[in-house]
Structure 1
Amino acid sequence: MWAASCLASCCASCACEACKGVARGISRRSARIAYCGLFTLSLLLAWLLRDFAGPLLEKIPWINTFTHTPSKEWFGTQAVLRVSFGNFLFFAIFALLMIGVKNQSDQRDSWHHDGWMVKFILWCTLIILMFFLPNGVLNVYGQVSRFGSGLFLLVQVVILLDFTHNWNEAWVAKDEQFWYIALLVVSLFCYLASFVVSGFLFHWFTPTGHDCQLNLFFIITTLVLVLGFAIISLHPQVNGSLLPAAVIALYCTYICYSALSSEPHNYECNGLHNHVKAVSIGTLVMGMLTTLLSVVYSAVRAGSSTTFLSPPSSPRAGIPGFIPKISGLLRCFSKLLF
């Protein structure tokens, strides 16, 4: 028994040291991996608590302050907001601490790369503390996060533009007919997929016999933007290509679907109400993957390239052709509008 206890203790100690060694190795190579890992963990935690933490939150008096207990969905939303708020505070604290750090000689650079055990404890502590806050604070955060989520969608578009621009440049640089044809095929596929999905949106969210003008407005607006992106991308002043516009068109169509499918399942214009559970899970998984890929890509690009998301006045700025194309696109778009 004594030998088994010693062996178990040694194994636990070795496992702990191995984990510390891996964490140190990861932090030395790239703190971005660890930060993305914490972000991924927060997404999974929010998902689990949304579905399973409702009965527990109902028993917390400073959360369930109602005479009539709200629905299970309300408590699930509260769990997600509290995890999100704790995660936001964690990253905001380190973002503020890193202001002005330009090279590794700054002492604060070690705060960014090292101390992952302390960071993980701080991250857990902040999330736990959020469950002790009153509902009023979370309601304010929920309203502010609505605008933050809209801003993040715009950031996702910029990230997607950067990715497709690099993709397009890489295939064009090969200067072979095969790759030009491949660019055309991919672009046409994205446009075809966008129009097919739009057709399903008309079928699902504008059922006959119901007044669904708002849904119709969103779908038609998306189609107008899809066509507008195609026209602007081919404008001589932009000097662009169809691939970035096609990918953005498909992304906008997905965003439109995501918004319409989130309508209440008892809403008469929501034609997917009979499959609300499967649609909700599918939309959630797709949204999480899109968010995670955007964060990981931006972290990798921002860390490995000094030009990505740098201000135009910075000496580090200068993605060849990318910023000029965006500015040209905006000028053309303003001309079309005004």
Structure 2
Amino acid sequence: MFLTTFKTSKLHGAGNTWHSKWWSLKFVLLVVSVAVPFFCPLSFIQLYGEIARIGAGIFLLLQLISVIEFITWWNNYWMPEEKLKQCGFLGLFTSTIFYIASMCGIVLMYFLYAARRLCTLNIFFITWTAILLIVMMVISLHSKVNRGLLSSGIMASYIVFLCWSAIRSEPAIEKCSPQKAAAGNGNWTSVVGFLIAMCSIVMATFSTGIDSQSFQFRKDKVQKEDDIPYDYGFFHFVFSMGAMYFAMLFISWNLDHSTKKWSIDVGWASTWVKIINEWIAASIYLWKLISPVVRQAKVMDQEGEIHYTESP
């Protein structure tokens, strides 16, 4: 779908018809694509697994950028100019709720997953998440940044969720692992939780796929009436990367060992992928906060040098 639609630009083109219609043919292609892997050689499946690791990482990065763009839009919508006091109060109230939830999540993770001193890795994960939370709040309130608490509160809740998800993915080999209690029997809650996560990832994939403008370097292009509403090629590219991400979830990012029964997205590979994802998310968000200040400082320095050289 990506290869056949990435050049589509007009609503009256053949690419738009292929993207929006021909559902019977697409259903046949879907059935064929499900059946073909059973007849492929193992070496090909292994090769695709290696490629899927890279694609899944790209998907996580695209999803992070899309989430941060949404948080920025939400902050601009609910925390406008000071004259709109009602909307400002709503944003302040919402940011307070997000920060309270983040703090409660940190305390709860300490209580459930880091109660013993031997749980050094969990203590490090949770403590570093708390430090990132504080750093984001301080930078957001800095006089030169002045971005308010709403966006940082939402981002704080997001990274706390990523930390919790990473700890939940730890294998059942230690007393600190939350999977230890469910290792001996079929944990239906893991399956239900995974299905909920699948639905949320699908929704995130849709929103990221139609949000191609967030990933454009130039956003001054004028939209015409016969232009497609979003980039079809980018939409299918995101879905192909999302499919690779699902493949990694089902095998816990491990190509060398079979996944155990009732063990969905569990393993050290899954844990570290989520933790690194959390750190990258916080880094991108912090850069978006300080980048306008850095650019403004560079412009002021350049203007000062020009005036200095022109002065007699």
For this structure pair, what is the TM-score category when the shorter chain's length is used for normalisation? 0.5 to 0.7
Task: Give the structure 2 partner of residue 188 of structure 1.
Answer: 96
Q: How does 1:295-310 map to 2 (within 5 A)?
A: 295-302=205-212, 308-310=213-215
Q: Considering Cα pairs closer than 8 Å and 6+ residues apart, tell me whether 1 or 2 has the greater RCO.
A: 2
For 1:329, give the aligned amino acid. L
- Provide the rounded CA distance (Å) in 1 between the counterparts of 2:287 and 2:169: 33
Per-residue deviation at 1:270?
Answer: 0.7
- Provide the rounded CA distance (Å) in 1 between the counterparts of 2:133 and 2:60: 17
What does the per-residue CA deviation read over 1:85-120, in whole Å, with 9 as the maximum and x for residues that have no partner?
xxxxxxxxx112222222224332222222111112
What does the per-residue CA deviation read over 1:50-106, in whole Å, with 9 as the maximum and x for residues that have no partner?
xxxxxxxxxxxxxxxxxxxxxxxxxxxxxxxxxxxxxxxxxxxx1122222222243
Q: How does 1:281-296 map to 2 (within 5 A)?
A: 281=191, 283-296=193-206
Going from structure 1 to structure 2, the CA distance change for 1:173 and 1:200 (only over 3 Å counts) comes to closer
Give % identity: 25
Instruction: Choose which of 256, 260, 274 in structure 1 pairs with 2:181.
Output: 274
Q: Give the number of aligned pairs.
A: 229
Task: Give the structure 2 partner of residue 329 of structure 1.
Answer: 289
Moved more, 127-136 or 274-283: 274-283
Task: Give the structure 2 partner of residue 213 of structure 1.
Answer: 120
- Provide the rounded CA distance (Å) in 2 between the counterparts of 1:214 and 1:141: 32
Q: How does 1:194-233 map to 2 (within 5 A)?
A: 194-208=102-116, 210=118, 212-233=119-140
Task: Give the structure 2 partner of residue 123 of structure 1.
Answer: 30
Indicate yes or no: 2:161 matched with 1:251.
no
The answer (yes or no) to whether the contact 2:99–2:153 under 8 Å persists in 1 is yes
Q: How does 1:1-338 map to 2 (within 5 A)?
A: 94-173=1-80, 175-208=83-116, 210=118, 212-275=119-182, 277=187, 280-281=190-191, 283-302=193-212, 308-316=213-221, 328-329=288-289, 331=291
TM-score w.r.t. the length of structure 2 is: 0.63
TM-score w.r.t. the length of structure 1 is: 0.58
Q: Secondary structure at the match of 1:274?
A: coil
Cα RMSD for the two superposed structures: 3.1
- Provide the rounded CA distance (Å) in 2 between the counterparts of 1:135 and 1:202: 43
Structure 1: 5+ residue stretches without partners:
1-93, 303-307, 318-324
Structure 2: 5+ residue stretches without partners:
223-284, 295-312
Going from structure 1 to structure 2, the CA distance change for 1:200 and 1:172 (only over 3 Å counts) comes to closer
- Provide the rounded CA distance (Å) in 2 between the counterparts of 1:264 and 1:275: 11
- Provide the rounded CA distance (Å) in 1 between the counterparts of 2:143 and 2:10: 40
- Provide the rounded CA distance (Å) in 2 between the counterparts of 1:268 and 1:206: 10
Higher helix fraction: Structure 1 or Structure 2? 1
